[in-house]
């Protein structure tokens, strides 16, 4: 569909403002790092285009250019290069932060991929934070100004509601409260005499068959259709409104059961109302999530390799048996995979499980015991600080697991799940999850599953990032770990 020229101009204007703020934030952060107390000198180099005199300028410019491109595409993906009347201020700020966070994560990958290790972490993180704050702030100002103009009557659209029943009246009340939408209800059309008599004089402008003449007399811009039990009539109304050049919106019959995840998609020429049962639908975000898993798991394995070898040696010295515990776990959509941990129990632990079942301290299909006699001395330490989980970085690198996601269950647990609990294995399992952050074994099994389902239904890259940072203090404290 061709984008109107006016909208293209607005998009370019917004993009230009973003470019100005991103450039300013990067430059300020750069000067803060390399010209402390002497910003004037740095600005002099910029003013006279003496870039060769600036420290590591080419490396920083490459990162800046990459960050700009990714940020523009990311914000465009969230439809932030325009002013959607129905979008809330909170939603616009959240989408801005999501877009900048995505750009920041991809830029970290860019730094590793290009081996630009000389780039200062202070410059990078300070510039990303300043960019998120500045781009959000100017959008808040823009939103407030636009909503003030529209609420005061600027560029309002005359709106006609077809159907003066309960649904039509409810819609009119909501539109009267949402002045920033700029939709001024002129009146209703309805065929039922009883409804026309019960409405205040002048509110029902006529019958539905009089649509064309009423549209012309009242300079209508938008039509809302709230009568839906008459399929053929609705199709006729829709076609007539389109021919008149009107914007047409249809309130769905099942609106009371609708949710924020309801959208529209197309199969061929057929429009489909599409309910997304969870937030894990964006292919772009899924690709980024997988890319971050690969990068961070690989880097983690390389950096931690001396520590991992030391732990392996201590396990061998502490008790006889293999270093690793390998067991089958259930992954995404019920697929079984080999799950790796450092061995924290004696080698005959599985054989003694039946003897301890009556001492289980957890509800549901899982077994947890605080003073489990099967644990080795090294195992108690590893369990407390989750050191035994580090080999799962290999699972993450292979793609069996992610850095963040519901913890992978064993097959015997899954066989005892209720139907609604199976949804937690509909996604890739993770090393850390809301379960880890919220207290691990201190949670009941039902609380555990509900926290996982809440994650599945509200997933985003921002949520993953937040959980990763929250997991660090939770693991160091060892809360609920045994």
pLDDT at res. 239: 80
* Local structure of 228: helix, strand or coil: coil
C-alpha to C-alpha distance for 229 and 474, rounded to whole angstroms: 54
pLDDT at res. 20: 93
Domain 157-258 has CATH 3.40.350.10: no
pLDDT at res. 227: 77
Q: Where in the chain is the domain with CATH 3.40.50.20?
A: 157-258
Q: Are 39 and 54 in contact (CB under 8 A)?
A: no
Closest C-alpha to 215, from 165, 166, 175, 162 = 162
pLDDT at res. 133: 93
Q: What are the angstrom distances between the C-alpha of 104 and each of 145, 236, 377, 401?
A: 29, 50, 41, 23
pLDDT tens track, the chain, 482 positions = 445 556 778 888 899 999 999 988 988 888 777 765 555 665 666 665 555 666 777 788 888 899 999 999 888 888 888 777 667 777 888 888 888 988 888 888 888 877 777 788 888 888 999 999 999 999 888 888 877 877 777 778 899 998 888 888 888 888 888 887 888 899 998 887 666 555 655 588 888 888 888 888 888 888 888 876 555 677 777 788 878 888 888 876 655 545 555 566 666 666 666 555 545 555 567 777 888 899 889 999 999 999 999 999 999 999 899 999 999 999 988 899 999 999 988 887 777 776 777 676 666 677 677 777 888 999 888 988 889 999 999 999 999 999 999 999 889 888 888 878 888 888 899 998 887 777 666 677 777 888 888 888 788 888 888 888 888 887 877 665 55
């Amino acid at each position: 569909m061709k984008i109107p020229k006016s909208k293209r101009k607005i998009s370019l204007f917004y993009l230009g403002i973003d470019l100005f703020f991103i450039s300013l934030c990067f430059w300020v952060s750069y000067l803060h790092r390399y010209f402390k107390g002497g910003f004037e000198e740095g600005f002099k180099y910029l003013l006279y285009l003496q870039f060769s005199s600036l420290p590591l300028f080419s490396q920083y410019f490459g990162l800046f250019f990459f960050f700009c491109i990714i940020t523009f595409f990311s914000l465009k993906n969230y439809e932030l290069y325009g002013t959607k009347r129905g979008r809330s201020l909170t939603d616009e700020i959240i989408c801005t932060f999501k877009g900048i966070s995505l750009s920041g994560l991809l830029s970290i990958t860019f730094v590793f991929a290009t081996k630009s290790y000389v780039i200062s972490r202070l410059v990078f993180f300070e510039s990303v934070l300043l960019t998120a704050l500045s781009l959000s702030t100017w959008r808040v100002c823009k939103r407030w100004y636009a909503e003030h103009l529209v609420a005061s009557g600027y560029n309002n659209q005359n709106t006609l509601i077809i159907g003066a029943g309960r649904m039509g009246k409810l819609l009119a009340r909501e539109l009267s409260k949402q002045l920033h939408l700029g939709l001024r209800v002129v009146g209703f059309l309805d065929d039922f005499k009883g409804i026309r008599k019960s409405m205040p004089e002048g509110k029902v402008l006529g019958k539905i068959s009089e649509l064309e003449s009423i549209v012309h007399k009242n300079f209508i811009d938008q039509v809302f259709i709230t009568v839906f039990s008459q399929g053929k009539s609705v199709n006729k109304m829709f076609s007539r409104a389109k021919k008149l050049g009107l914007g047409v919106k249809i309130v769905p019959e099942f609106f009371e059961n609708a949710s924020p995840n309801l959208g529209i998609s197309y199969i061929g020429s057929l429009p489909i109302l599409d309910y997304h049962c969870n937030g894990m639908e964006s292919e772009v975000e899924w690709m980024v999530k997988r890319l971050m898993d690969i990068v961070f798991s690989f880097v983690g394995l390389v950096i931690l390799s001396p520590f991992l070898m030391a732990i392996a040696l201590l396990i061998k010295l502490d008790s006889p048996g293999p270093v690793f515990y390998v067991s089958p776990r259930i992954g995404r959509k019920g697929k079984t995979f080999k799950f790796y941990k450092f061995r924290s129990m004696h080698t005959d632990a599985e054989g003694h499980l039946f003897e301890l079942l009556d001492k289980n301290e957890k509800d549901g299909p899982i077994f947890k015991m605080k003073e489990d006699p099967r644990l080795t001395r090294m195992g108690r330490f590893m369990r407390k600080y989750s050191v035994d989980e580090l080999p799962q970085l290999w699972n993450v690198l292979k793609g069996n697991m992610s850095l963040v996601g519901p913890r992978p269950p064993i097959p015997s647990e899954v066989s005892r799940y209720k139907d609604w609990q199976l949804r937690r294995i509909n996604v890739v399992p993770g090393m850390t999850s809301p379960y880890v952050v919220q207290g691990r074994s201190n949670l009941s099994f039902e609380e555990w599953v509900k926290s996982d389902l809440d994650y599945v239904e509200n997933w985003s890259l921002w949520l993953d990032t937040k959980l990763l940072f929250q997991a660090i203090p939770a693991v160091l404290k060892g809360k609920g770990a045994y």
